[in-house]
Amino acid sequence: MEVGNIFRHLLVHNEAFVKNTEETKFLAYATHQNPYITLLTCADSRVQGEILGRDIFNKVFIIRNAGNQFAVNRGSIEYSLFVLNTPVMLVLGHTDCGAVKFATHACITQSKEIMNLAKSFDKLMKTDYSLLTHEIKSEMLPLTIPIERGISDLRKIQNEMKELAYLSQINVDYQIEKTLKYYGDRVKENKLTIIGGVYDFVGAYSKQLGRVLITNINGIINPIDLQNNARNIIKRMPNYDEKSEGYKVVSGLIDEKVTRITV
């Protein structure tokens, strides 16, 4: 898009937002905020807050960087957890992640032992990363640590789309592992629930595009335990009733969306 149209888009769409939003909404939170979710996600433009609901105003404290890395924005995370006291932290990766692709490319090209994996990464291996600046590489290279953990499992998948989704899933696990190292006490005290997920807009998990799949809860990744944990969380709802229609709907969604790519 040409810069003139971009600038016009900025002005016109913001004005539409202003006219379609009641003034009282802004005034109610003009001097304070009380979000209930700390969202650590990737800076990728395809990942938008609307996937958690059309209106996330004063609900989601969003922290973004390449590859949804915990260490890059620890100060912002602690502000949200300790000052704003958000009870839920969502670490959200996504399919077709550029940062994960870079780290995967780096792992494969640096290890002769896994060069045979390049056959299932034909598109990725043709990508030229030589023009990336030192600063870009420095920010994304730490992702090789979690990616190396999952690389050996890829021989069992042999599908580039699913392989990259699996590595994004492994990265989310790693970031939650790091998070639990510092905030595990809050989890044990039921002050914080850390949820991991992968936003799937390519169909790596199912034919339903745009779903957020829940792949980790407080470090739990075993599929059966993961679903049981999800149901236990739902039971904490006020007026919880397993016979209600609402519970049946949520239970069905847990069956479909609380899942992992396993090898």
Residues 159 and 49 in one domain: yes
Question: Is 212 within the bounds of a domain?
Answer: yes
pLDDT at position 116 is 62
Q: Are residues 205 and 241 in the same domain?
A: yes
Range of 131's domain?
33-257
| pLDDT for 117 | 64
CATH assignment of the domain containing 40: 3.40.1050.10
Residue 148: Cβ within 10 Å count: 18
Q: Using 50 as the pLDDT threshold, list the residues of the chain that sit under it.
A: none
pTM here?
Answer: 0.92
Q: Judge if 24 and 43 occupy the same domain.
A: no
Residue 262 falls inside a structural domain: no
How many domains, in total, are found in the chain? 2
**C-alpha closest to that of 68 among 172, 222, 156:** 172
Q: What pLDDT is attached to residue 211?
A: 95
Among the residues of 32-97, which ranges form H helices? 74-78
pLDDT value of position 113: 57
